[in-house]
Amino acid sequence: MILLYHGIVEGVYPRDRWCVGQALPISIFERHIDTLARYRRIVPLEEYLSIRKRNRHVRDMVVLTFDDGLATSFERVYPFLRDRSIPATFFISIGHLEHGPLLWFSYINALCFEGVYDRVEFESDSFPLLSLKQRMLARHSLVARAQASGNPCAFAEKLAATHPLPSSITAEYEGMTHEQLALFRNSERLEPGAHTLSHPFLDQLGRAEQAKEIEESKQLLAKLTGRRIRYFAYHNEDYNRDTLSLVREADFEAGLATWPRNLEGDDLYELERVGIYSPSLLKFWLKTRIVPLARGFIGSRSPDSSSVNR
């Protein structure tokens, strides 16, 4: 089983600012892992795949993965992982690293959930942000519009031009620093993985545009970490057959999805991950102990999977 986490926040972070499952408090994450370690063996992705390829039993094994490459999340989980000697793979988007512009969906998260504005005015529409329900609806609508635009980065830039955010807010959503990436260089426990340049909807892009996102993210991440980049993570199920062939051509050893589309017979390039979006220990236990029941009864998606965990 491969688990997927996104943002990790401080325990004092207000509940309605956890981006509806996008982020979990560090205390909850630590509790999850402490519980998991009692009945599962947490192994590096390389070991898991090696045993799996040989058709060996992997049911008792778990791999930890984190998406996007948020500096604050890494800052919070790294000491815990280091002190417990727990391996993890971090799939890192390149475009927001070292104080770069926020990833488009990170900006929308911050805009809707951080309380800077009471309302978002965009084109002919108005989105109130006074209650958690209103923030969720606004976030869902804005992400849908970003997707429909065909260029979510440009969409977010246009929105940010009229709704700028202070640095005190954006700091929580920035990408990893060069100092953090340097920790991967000689680590036996930290594995860097590619997650595109700008976090687009890959299945909306032509083959050449996809190739740029995939190949350049691998090259730049290898340069920044001093490591060979062996694994690629898609964004949810936003990929197609071109994506799969390009990931193979870029010489990645495996591709990981959140909800595999099962486009081809080789599931090594459509490996399923179990997303952890709830602080509930019961849901965590169900997902990691009774996977078929968890998928059929409570589902593996977040409360708003179409818009939350991009």
What's the total number of domains in the chain?
A: 2
Phi (first) and psi of residue 201, to 5 degrees: -85, 100
Same domain, yes or no: 163 and 200: no
Range of the domain at 201: 2-100+175-298
Residues 252 and 137 in one domain: no
Pick 214 or 267 by higher pLDDT: 214
pLDDT of 88 above 90: yes
Q: Residue 17: its pLDDT value, please?
A: 66
Domain shared by 9 and 144, yes or no = no
Average the pLDDT over 67-77 and give the result: 95
Please tell me the least confidently modeled range out of 80-84, 255-259, 278-282, 303-307.
303-307
Chain mean pLDDT for the chain: 88
pLDDT in tens, 93-123: 999 998 889 999 999 999 999 999 999 999 8
14-35 pLDDT, tens digit each: 666 666 556 888 999 999 999 8
Selected residue with higher pLDDT from 124 and 182: 182
Domain boundary among the residues 170, 197, 213 is at 170
**Quick one: average pLDDT of 45-59?**
84
Confirm if 244 and 270 have CB atoms less than 8 A apart. yes
The predicted-structure confidence for 241-260, as pLDDT tens digits, reads as follows 999 999 999 999 999 998 88
Tell me: the pLDDT tens digits for 285-309? 888 876 534 344 444 444 444 444 4
Check whether residue 224 and residue 286 sit in a common domain: yes
**What is the average pLDDT across 202-220?**
96
C-beta separation of 139 from 113 below 8 A: yes
Do 112 and 252 have their domain in common?
no
306 part of a folded domain: no
| pTM for the predicted model, two decimal places | 0.90
Same domain, 53 and 121: no
pLDDT at residue 18, rounded to an integer? 62
pLDDT of residue 242: 95
Percent of the chain beyond pLDDT 90? 68
Domain check: are 225 and 294 in the same one?
yes
CATH assignment of the domain containing 198:
3.20.20.370
Q: What is the torsion angle, in degrees rounded to the nearest 10, for the CA atoms of residue 222, residue 223, residue 224 and residue 225? A: 50
Q: What was the pLDDT predicted at 244?
A: 95
* 66 and 184 part of one domain: yes
Give the pLDDT mean for 175-200.
95
Cα distance from N-terminal residue to C-terminal residue, the chain: 21
The verdict on 272 and 186 lying in the same domain is yes
Calculate ∠ Cα 7-24-107, nearest 5°: 40
